[in-house]
Structure 1
């Protein structure tokens, strides 16, 4: 009789990855590897700056005096639209990232909408797993990879 316990039966029981994306079948580095923190933050800063600028143009605010909730709404809307249409936002494109499903396909419409709404809450983006996927990516079944 074999006394070895059975292996993990669900994704939540898998051991941590040796590198981000290992459990997803992604390479350690280079093209198609998981987008690292620096690139993700760079993309976020670029996308937020675009949302601020667009808010100022559309609503007559100044760069020093604008409504943060309006900027957040514009940011979430831009994220959802760009990710659904292109698979990347302007910030992602500039830093060399794109969004795919964990199975490698196109993201469609619902995934970017759910992901963007959760990203607007900020907390899901601060909770990561060993694959460097935020809670918003886990719920949407997506991963940001290098182009």
Structure 2
């Protein structure tokens, strides 16, 4: 099959994407492309480490405090900075699927699903986790 030819749909009436973000109108690579797994995982690990450090300093490293601080960081930083500490360090930004500021309720919904973990493990062909699909958001390269 030639490189630019779109494969036919295997089920339903929607053809598979040639690259993550194509159906969303995002570029294949570079700025504003869909964040790939390596950066996403790196940002998540960094955010979790920060939450554990803060929890250790103030709550003795209690598991509930780790989760609460992680969630609080997401809820505060996603709408204000466009991404968590890890996102910003790894060059990522959270936007609405239609572009622009994610608002306040989207980060709340996204974070609630993210701390459950399972929705974040279910991805679509655009490499968006279920938590992003429900919230109507996409994590892009800044």
TM-score (norm 2): 0.89
Q: Rg larger in 1 or in 2? A: 1
State whether structure 2 residue 81 is matched by structure 1 residue 83: no
State whether structure 2 residue 134 is matched by structure 1 residue 139: yes
Measured against aligned partners, the alpha-carbon deviations of 1:21-65 in whole angstroms (never above 9, x if no partner) come to 000000000000000000000000000000000111122x1xxxx
- Partner residue of 1:102 out of 81, 97, 102: 97
Separation in structure 2 between the aligned mates of residue 13 and residue 52 of structure 1, nearest angstrom: 45
Measured against aligned partners, the alpha-carbon deviations of 1:86-109 in whole angstroms (never above 9, x if no partner) come to 111100011100000010110110
- 1:25-36 aligned at under 5 Å gives the runs 25-36=25-36
Match of 1:115 in 2: 110
Structure 1: 5+ residue runs without aligned partners? 1-11
Separation in structure 2 between the aligned mates of residue 141 and residue 16 of structure 1, nearest angstrom: 20
Separation in structure 2 between the aligned mates of residue 15 and residue 134 of structure 1, nearest angstrom: 19
Structure 2: 5+ residue runs without aligned partners? 1-11
State whether structure 2 residue 131 is matched by structure 1 residue 129: no
Match of 1:56 in 2: 56
Alignment length, in residue pairs? 131
Match of 1:21 in 2: 21
Separation in structure 2 between the aligned mates of residue 68 and residue 82 of structure 1, nearest angstrom: 21
Match of 1:69 in 2: 64
Match of 1:92 in 2: 87
TM-score (norm 1): 0.86
**RMSD over equivalenced CA pairs, Å:** 1.1
